[in-house]
């Protein structure tokens, strides 16, 4: 029995975690290529370090630290941790932007797991085309391989017009060209690549071009942030899963005429906030998602 199955059994027995969402494709369990093993990663998103707004989160200065502690307290060590953008809340002041990014980096430096991947959100990167973010965190788009899965991090925020851009699209194509059509591919990005709610800025203007590049690959899953809530959507065979925020939730897409945050509920503090663990399972060629709260109820 693999370690990941032990972990899932443990989670069930211990009653940890929240709702579990399974995402995967039938019939893709055996694939050629690199050796594949089960593994586990954690996704955190939209921490908005520097945000001030007591009506939405009176613990804006302490929620990130609580999330770090919660990840460190997981019973099983993730293989890696990814932050899918909006690490900081936007500011017009370049100096303050760098200060917030540096503070964020210091706080998440307390994560026990040192294998941490970062991505920018529009709050981090759109006002200076990603300049400050790159100074502190490196390239804003990249790829890497882990235990037989190819990960592609797409930057759809450094351009203030919510575009990936021709240069990056060409890079994505060249990167994917090296993969077999049945390779397991996971995409990390900040905004949804599909048109979830363009009138709420919940879309990527040239996201359809990225989806077109991904479409020939049989096993693709996208994990993103931006919309401050869990959401699951399919474009053809490609699954898209958005993560909760760690600052305040937003209302469900289309539930009201205007996009709006959800106010803090003193009776249920931190409600709607959280992070997720993702089990990458070789046998199912899929991903089992477990949602975790910031603090245990």
Partner 1 sequence: MRLARRRVLAAGIGALAGAAFGASVLAQPQEKVIRIIARKFEFVPEKIELKKGEPVVLEFTTADVLMGFNAPDFKVRADIAPGQVARLRLVPDKAGDFDFFCDNFCGEGHETMSGTIRVTA
**Site residues (vs partner 1, CB under 8 A):** 89-92, 122, 126-127, 157, 160-162, 198-199, 201, 205, 257-259
What is the C-alpha to C-alpha distance for residues 107 and 49, in angstroms, rounded to an integer? 10
- Kindly list the strands in the beta sheet with 149-153, ordered across the sheet, starting from the edge strand earlier in the chain: 142-146, 149-153, 184-188, 219-224, 238-242, 231-235
Residues 84, 152: contact at Cβ < 8 Å?
no
Is the Cβ of residue 259 or residue 284 nearer to partner 1 in the bound state? 259
- Joined together, the tokens standing for residue 282 give 């070789």
**Least distance from partner 1 to the Cβ atom of residue 245, Å:** 13
Residue number, 124 or 288, with CB nearest to partner 1: 124
Residue 122 CB, shortest distance to partner 1, in Å, is: 5
CB of 142 to partner 1, least distance (A): 22
The 10 Å Cβ neighbour count of residue 90 is: 18
**In contact, 74 and 42? CB cutoff 8 Å:** yes
Nearer Cβ to partner 1, position 84 or 90? 90
Cβ closest to partner 1, residue 234 vs residue 260: 260
- Reading the block at residue 292, the tokens are 């975790």
**Nearer to partner 1 among residue 154 and residue 285 (C-beta):** 154
Nearer to partner 1 (CB atom), residue 103 or residue 201: 201
Nearest to 219 by CA among 28, 23, 22: 28
* 3-class DSSP assignment, residue 258: coil
- Nearest approach, Cβ of residue 100 and partner 1 (Å): 12
The CA distance from 263 to 55, in Å, is 6
The 3-state DSSP class for residue 21 equals: strand
Pair 23, 232: CB distance under 8 Å: yes
Q: Which of 35, 128, 73, 59 is nearest to 269 (CA)?
A: 59
Question: Which of 82, 88, 120 is CA-nearest to residue 101?
Answer: 88
Comparison of 126 and 219: residue with beta carbon closer to partner 1: 126
């Amino acid at each position: 029995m693999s370690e990941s199955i032990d972990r899932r059994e443990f989670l069930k027995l211990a009653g940890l975690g929240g709702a579990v969402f399974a995402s995967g494709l039938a019939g893709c369990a055996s694939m050629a290529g690199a050796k594949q093993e089960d593994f586990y990663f954690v996704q955190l998103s939209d921490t908005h370090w520097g945000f001030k707004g007591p009506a939405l989160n009176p613990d804006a200065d302490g929620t990130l630290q609580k999330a770090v502690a919660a990840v460190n307290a997981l019973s099983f060590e993730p293989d890696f941790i990814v932050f899918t953008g909006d690490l900081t809340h936007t500011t017009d002041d370049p100096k303050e932007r760098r200060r917030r990014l540096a503070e964020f980096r210091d706080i998440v430096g307390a994560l026990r797991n040192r294998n941490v991947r970062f991505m920018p959100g529009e709050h981090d990167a759109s006002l200076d085309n990603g300049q400050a973010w790159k100074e502190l965190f490196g390239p804003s788009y990249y790829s890497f391989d882990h235990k037989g899965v190819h990960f592609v991090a797409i930057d759809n925020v450094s351009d203030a017009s919510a575009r990936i851009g021709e240069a990056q699209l060409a890079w994505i194509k060249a990167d994917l060209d090296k993969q077999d059509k049945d390779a397991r591919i996971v995409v990390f990005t900040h905004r949804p690549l599909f048109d979830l709610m363009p009138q709420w800025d919940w879309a990527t203007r040239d996201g359809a071009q990225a989806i077109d590049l991904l479409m020939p690959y049989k096993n693709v899953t996208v994990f993103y942030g931006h919309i401050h809530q869990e959401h699951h959507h399919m474009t053809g065979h490609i699954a898209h899963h958005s993560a909760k925020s760690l600052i305040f939730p937003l209302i469900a897409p289309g539930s009201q005429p205007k996009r709006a945050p959800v106010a803090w509920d003193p009776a249920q503090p931190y409600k709607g906030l959280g992070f997720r663990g993702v089990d990458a399972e070789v046998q199912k060629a899929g991903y089992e998602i477990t949602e975790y709260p910031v603090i245990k109820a």
